[in-house]
Amino acid sequence: MIYKTVRLTGSRGEREVKALFDTGSSRCFVSVDLARSVGDVFPVAIPLEIETATAVTRAREAIHAAVWLDGHALQWVFYVVEDLTESAIVGADFLQIWKIKLDPEHEALILDPSALKLKLV
């Protein structure tokens, strides 16, 4: 797990947030306040059941947003969760697709440049 201050950009605007990059989180999540301030919240087709350390909750909404890392806007879907302990949690789904590795010793994110080139074949 690594905390990084990043810019999150959505259809309504952008905010700098202290995000938790967490390989133990299977998906990406944002707080209700952050979601409503940066993006157009939309209902998900099937609510996502989420297990936390102390409870089970459901995400019924999501936003499309971009996380800015090293000058690159990496777009993704973030599920909106009430009473989230962090403003934003960037999970394993995002990290795997964008080929981002965590370096906890140096509190750094390592981007693979090959993942930044989108292809339509």
Tens-place pLDDT, residues 21-63:
999 999 999 999 999 999 999 999 999 999 887 889 999 999 9
pLDDT at 51 (0 to 100): 87
CB 80 within 8 A of CB 30: yes
CB 15 within 8 A of CB 31: no
State residue 43 phi and psi, 5-degree precision. Answer: -75, 145
What is this structure's pTM?
0.91
Q: For residue 70, what pLDDT band results from cuts at 50, 70 and 90?
A: very high
Give Cα 84 to chain centroid, integer Å: 13
CB 64 within 8 A of CB 75: yes
Local structure of 114: helix, strand or coil: helix
Homologous superfamily of 2-116 in CATH?
A: Acid Proteases (2.40.70.10)
